[in-house]
Structure 1
Amino acid sequence: MNIFIGNLPYKIQESELRELFEDYGELTSLKIITDKQTGQSKGFGFAEMPDRESALKALEDLNAAEIYGRNIVVKEAEEKPRNTSSSGGFKSGGYNKGGYNKTR
């Protein structure tokens, strides 16, 4: 089960978060999302636990748990919606679209 972890304190380390979740069972992965330029935590992350029952117990016990003065949010991660547009968000003009018009 993929788990969303939100409202994380910026100073928490992945190792600390890993310890919290490993109390409930095996972790396949754990990642705190960071800003690419600064390396600073964005205040959320994801964990993956292969055993659904263990994951549900972690959700139940850890949601709203206080860590470094913040109540974290722990819930099942939602699937990221796929972009169905094939244009990549850029609308290009076709023949004679835009530019200046020679005929006045």
Structure 2
Amino acid sequence: MKVFIGGLPTEVSEAELNAVFEDFGPVKSLRIIKDRETKESRGFGFVEMVNDDEAKEAIRCMNGQSYYGKRITVNVAEDKGPGFNRGGFSRN
């Protein structure tokens, strides 16, 4: 199950976040989204857990918690489908 993590402090590393979520079960993948130009964290990321029940437990325990002094949002990631928000061009 893919999980969205929002409100992340910019100084948090993927390794640190991975360690937090591994407390709930095996992590398949984890990525903090970064600005393409500055390479700075955009304050959110995604973790994919191997087991759905463990992902749900991570969501239940982590959502609304303070992490590095910031309250984080943790919930099921929404699938936006292929091509969502890929272009910077409008035909209108």
Q: Name structure 1 gaps, 5 residues minimum.
A: 92-104
Q: d(CA) in 2 for partners of 1:72 and 1:12?
A: 12
Any residues of structure 2 matched to 1:1-104 within 5 Å, and which? 1-82=1-82, 89-90=90-91
- The equivalent of 1:99 in structure 2 is none
Q: Summarize deviations over 1:71-92 as a string: whole Å, max 9, x none.
A: 1100000011445xxxx8436x
Give the TM-score normalised by structure 2. 0.88
Q: Name structure 2 gaps, 5 residues minimum.
A: 84-88
Q: Summarize deviations over 1:20-45 as a string: whole Å, max 9, x none.
A: 00000000000000001100000000
Q: d(CA) in 1 for partners of 2:21 and 2:82?
A: 29
Name the count of aligned residue pairs.
Answer: 88
Structure with the greater alpha carbon radius of gyration? 1
Q: Percent identity?
A: 41
Greater fraction strand: 2
Give the TM-score normalised by structure 1. 0.78
Q: d(CA) in 2 for partners of 1:32 and 1:65?
A: 18
Q: CA RMSD in A?
A: 1.8
Q: d(CA) in 2 for partners of 1:27 and 1:73?
A: 18
Q: Summarize deviations over 1:28-74 as a string: whole Å, max 9, x none.
A: 00000000110000000000012011000000001011111101100
Give the letter aligned to residue 80 of structure 2: K
Give the letter aligned to residue 14 of structure 1: E
